[in-house]
Amino acid sequence: MPDYRRLYENGGTYFFTVVTYHRYPVFQGDNAVALLNNCIEIIRRDHPFVIEAYVILPDHLHMIWTLPETDCDFSLRWNLIKGNFSRRYGMEWESPSMSRGKKREKAIWQRRFWEHLVRDQNDFNRLCDYIHYNPVKHGLAKSPVAWRHSTFRDFQAKGLYPEGWGLTVSKELNEMALE
């Protein structure tokens, strides 16, 4: 298998998937979601970026960011966010299946994340649909508007999604795959 190489582009807009270690439901409670949001805001002060869209599910999250025109280092930002959250969350799993290596290491996040450079407006729209429909796809909500931890309501308030979106196109959205 060839080496995986990340594509860094100054001012780029990126879609991310970040997963918890062994898909443990770290974000099933509002306190953990609030802490994550706080950690993101702390990092954005020194390393700015725009959050275009997001959804936070119990065991993973999806976000679209746009970086500053003179910056492309999304890896640094994710490293800082994940590290800040891990230190502040302070959770250590005792189970041997959850440990990493010989030392008791906090295992909250998978070590890597997946990113995709957004190519154009159609790609952006498709990824926003994927993000906003994700709680329905995973059986966590009956409609995107019912899931609190996403930008769906903001998009709907701006007129970007009609009333009832995600109810009538669920088969199409359930079959949507990321490339």
- Checking if the pLDDT of 54 tops 80, the result is yes
List 127's β-bridge partners, or say none.
none
Residue 44 resides in a domain: yes
Tell me the three state secondary structure of residue 146.
Answer: helix
pLDDT bucket at 107, cuts 50 / 70 / 90: confident
For residue 95, the enclosing domain spans 13-174
Whether 103 is covered by a domain: the verdict is: yes
Residue 158: give its domain's CATH number.
3.30.70.1290
pLDDT of residue 168 exceeding 70, the answer is no
Output the six-digit token pair for 84. Answer: 């800040």
Q: How many domains does the chain divide into?
A: 1
Q: Do 8 and 72 touch, CB atoms closer than 8 A? A: yes
Is residue 7 assigned to a domain? Answer: no
Average pLDDT over residues 36-57: 98
pLDDT band at 49 (very low <50, low <70, confident <90, very high): very high
Most confident listed range (96-100, 107-111, 117-121): 117-121
- Quick one: how far is CA 109 from the chain centroid? 12
Rounded-to-integer distance, Cα 148 and Cα 95, Å: 31
> Is residue 72 in some structural domain?
yes
